[in-house]
Amino acid sequence: MSGRHNGRPTLEEVAALAGVGRGTVSRVINGSPRVSEQARDAVARAVAELGYVPNQAARALAGSRTDAVALVIPETEARLFAEPYFLDLIRGVSAELAEADKQLLLTLVRTEPERARFEQYLATQRVDGVLLASVHGDDPLPDRIRELGLPVVMNGRRSEAEPVAYVDSDNIGAGRAAVAHLVGRGRSRIATISGPLDMYVARARLGGYRAGLAEAGLVPDESLVAHGDFTEDGGRLAMRELLERSPGLDAVFAASDVMAAGARGVLREAGRRVPEDVALVGVDDSAVARLMDPPLTSVRQPIEEMGRTMTRLLLQKIAEKTEKTEKTEKTGKAEKAAEPSWAGSAAGPGEEPRRVLPTELIVRDSS
């Protein structure tokens, strides 16, 4: 058979040479995780021997595949390019999609009309799946995407009981680690600048801060809590508020490096030395932390790895949806979905996958 077929090799020829079914060849080519190593090797040898090249257009038509994934960030262009977090996240997503030979569609959804237009775009099945970042608690978009039948994975979550698949970092642990470090440095009037409380990430870091105080035996004081918005200006405003209310504070845990940078500027204007008078800790361990004067102690979250992990989960969901569709088309009836490959690890049977990645305190000269 090898070298004697006429014209372009077909999927059926690859299957015959490999000694497997047409569906198995399709799953191997589409990157499905549920293929045995033996079958994968057999298909790879047959593909190489026949010189088979998958027809991307035919694959897209046959499986309703576009080989494109949307990454949705509900922020302005200014915030996107000013915030190192988003750039690191995009880097991780882009790298993983490139390895899977998928196209990345980056979309900013900032207003209700833009959200409605994006939902209409998704309804035309122009992408295979959606990644969501920086989602606020009342955002209906994750649920609407699921209603459209598209695989979706979020970066972070809207609440503790998030029903949609997500990848997050240990935000509660981040707050606890920051406070424990500051207490270990002899600080007792520890303030915090939280993010917007309609975001779970902000509530979790604030909860970690409060848990850290309790573990250290410190009495919580709401005058030491100010709310920001994850921007540098928000950090400045919150720091001014804290100094007015509690001038005797001796440490600040800011829920992001960018807000810590804003707080650092206000402390300098007020004549407060860092760390001698006020110790300062941020979150993200971004370039902002390393370039500050003095360099900022920060809780590192693996942002790029979060981007990669959420992309891998989405690709798994896309492959499993494609496989289910092919089975349905072949048998002419819907079949019960096989147990997801992630069941029993981060999610139980029938549940959406979720991952929480660890954080790490990086100590520098600001504390």
* Digit-coded pLDDT (tens) for 203-225: 999 999 999 999 999 999 999 99
Q: Residue 3 pLDDT more than 50? A: no
Per-residue burial over 52-70, b = 16 or more CB atoms within 10 Å of its CB, e = otherwise = beeeeeebeeebebbbebb
* pLDDT score, position 214: 97
Say which range, 85-89, 266-270, 284-288, 347-351, has the weakest mean pLDDT: 347-351
Is there a shared CATH topology between the 11-54 domain and the 171-300 domain? Answer: no
Class of 11-54 in CATH: mainly alpha
d(CA 178, CA 184) in angstroms, rounded, equals 10
* Cα of 365 vs its chain's centroid, Å: 29
d(CA 117, CA 122) in angstroms, rounded, equals 9
Cβ atoms < 10 Å from Cβ of 196: 16
- Hey, which of 63-77, 85-99, 148-162, 269-283 has the most confident mean pLDDT? 269-283
Cβ atoms < 10 Å from Cβ of 5: 14
* pLDDT score, position 66: 72
Q: Residue 344 pLDDT more than 60? A: no
Of 186, 192, 187, 189, the closest CA to residue 210 belongs to 192
**CATH fold of 171-300:** Rossmann fold (3.40.50)
Cβ atoms < 10 Å from Cβ of 220: 10
Q: What is the DSSP letter of 271?
A: T
Q: Say if residues 291 and 271 touch (Cβ distance below 8 Å).
A: no
Q: What is the mean pLDDT of residues 172-191?
A: 98
Q: What is the mean pLDDT of residues 352-363?
A: 95
Of 66, 145, 72, the closest CA to residue 102 belongs to 66
- Domain boundaries along the sequence of the chain: 11-54, 68-168+304-335, 171-300
* Phi and psi at residue 341, to the nearest 5°: -65, -20
Whole-number average pLDDT of the chain: 86
* Digit-coded pLDDT (tens) for 276-330: 999 999 999 999 999 999 999 999 999 999 999 999 999 999 988 877 766 665 6
| pTM to 2 decimal places | 0.77
User: What are the percentages of helix, strand and coil residues in the chain, rounded to 5?
Assistant: 45, 15, 40
Choices 3.30.460.80, 3.40.50.2300, 3.30.360.10, 3.40.50.720: CATH for 68-168+304-335: 3.40.50.2300
* Digit-coded pLDDT (tens) for 251-289: 999 999 999 999 999 999 999 999 999 999 999 999 999
Looking at this protein, which amino acid is placed at residue 110? Answer: R
112, with CB counted inside 10 A (0-12, 13-18, 19+), is exposed
Q: What is the mean pLDDT of residues 106-117?
A: 89
Q: How distant, in Å, are the alpha carbons of 10, 14, 20, 100 from that of 6? A: 10, 14, 21, 30
* Phi and psi at residue 279, to the nearest 5°: -80, 150
